Copies of this chain bind each other. A is one copy, B any other.
Amino acid sequence: MLSFAEENYLKAIYHLAEQSGQSVSTNAIADELNTKAASVTDMIKRLSSKGVLSYQKYKGVYVSEAGKIAALQVIRKHRLWETFLVAKLKFNWDEVHEVAEQLEHIKSPLLIKRLDELLGHPKFDPHGDPIPDENGEYKEKPKTPLFELQIEQSGIVVTVQDDSPAFLQYLDKIGIYIGAKIKVIDKVEFDGSMEIQIDGRKTNFISKQVSENIWLTE
């Protein structure tokens, strides 16, 4: 059984490993968790002895198969709680992360089973990220940045790359949410900005920077 702190390390290391595809360095972990390299060394020794990481001195760490299963269950819990907060408790996108960070460590298989049922076995969280099932399995949606669509093409918002409160609040304001249908009305070659229509109603002008951070599926 992993502690709260151990689960946080494992989850962070799992994410870093997925991104890089390589072994994860002590410093990268320390940066990610806002802690010091010495603390990380202590913790990765502990996690290795528990069998969820494999570690060689000075060579960084890999997540073991057992570690991946454990990490995916924490991620599952995090994303189910985020979905619950938005769907049932009317939280905004930018308000869920902190609370889900706490809730993901609650130990109760029945709780997660029932939460999953209450939410109708969702496959994606409010940010469009996939929710692993009880076996750790999930699939990503094939997705492209809004920026790459051509005039007259459309798609459904599935995720955003930037999840800063400022960006999420801006999206809220102009009426963009996960599941919104966006159609490209016009593209301005000069600065990369575009005019879009949201859910067949409002139209809006958005900058290149924004359109690169909104990802869609068909």
Interface residues of A (CB under 8 A from B): 85, 88-91, 95, 98-99, 102-103, 106-108, 110-111, 114-115, 118
Contact = CB atoms under 8 A, between A and B. Distances in A.
A89 B108 contact: no
B108 A98 contact: yes
A115 B89 contact: yes
Instruction: List the number of copies, as a whole number.
Output: 2
Contacts of A106: 99, 102-103
A161 B189 CA distance: 74
A111 B103 CA distance: 11
A90 B102 contact: no
Contacts of A85: 111
A107 B118 CA distance: 23
A108 B102 contact: yes
A110 B89 CA distance: 9
Query: Which 8 residue pairs of A and B lie closest in terms of their CB atoms, listed nearest first?
Result: A89-B114, A99-B108, A102-B106, A99-B111, A89-B118, A103-B106, A88-B118, A90-B114
Contacts of A108: 98-99, 102
A110 B35 CA distance: 28
16 contacts: A85-B111, A88-B118, A89-B114, A89-B115, A89-B118, A90-B114, A91-B110, A91-B114, A95-B110, A98-B108, A99-B108, A99-B110, A99-B111, A102-B107, A102-B108, A103-B106
Contacts of A88: 88, 118
Nearest to A113: B89
Contacts of A103: 103, 106
Nearest to A102: B106
Most chain B Cβ neighbours within 10 Å, of A90, A103, A111: A111
Contacts of A114: 89-91
A165 to B, nearest CB: 14
A181 B76 CA distance: 41
A99 B111 CA distance: 8
A7 to B, nearest CB: 13
